[in-house]
Amino acid sequence: MDAPETGDAPESEEPLPESRVGLTPRQARRIRIVLASVLMGAMAVVLVVRLASRTSVLVVGVYGAALVLCGIVIELSRNGRTRLGTWLLSVGLAAALAADWLLLP
């Protein structure tokens, strides 16, 4: 026979509140990891293109820092620090693009 239901559901089977809108933390982490990976690839392509037009240590420094920043954001996202990673990615890449525009001839 079936056991009578007591109304207490285990935590793993507890339904999400219906007012909750948005991504789960796992989905947010995965999206930020994918975004940082795509941006890392884009920065690598831009680095190669910029080095083909002019070789400069400053070019390597700016885009190398952007690549390292993308790697840091991936690790932060894997460890659950997605908000910090999002801020770092947006501010860091904006700074790298600003440095490219201002510093590089």
Residue 58 within any structural domain of the chain: yes
Both tokens assigned to 58: 């400053």
Rounded (to 5) percent helix, strand, coil in the chain: 70, 0, 30
Q: How many domains are contained in the chain? A: 1
> Is the overall model pTM greater than 0.75, yes or no?
no
Residue 93 within any structural domain of the chain: yes
CB 11: neighbour CB atoms within 10 A? 5
Domain that holds residue 51: 24-103
d(CA 46, CA 91) in angstroms, rounded, equals 18
Residue 75 within any structural domain of the chain: yes
Residue 19 within any structural domain of the chain: no
Residue 8 within any structural domain of the chain: no
Residue 50 within any structural domain of the chain: yes
- pLDDT in single tens digits along all 105 residues of the chain: 555 555 554 555 555 556 667 888 888 889 988 999 999 999 899 889 988 887 788 888 888 899 999 999 999 888 888 888 889 989 998 998 898 888 876
What distances in angstroms separate CA 89 from CA 33, 83, 105, one per listed residue? 11, 10, 24
Residue 86 within any structural domain of the chain: yes
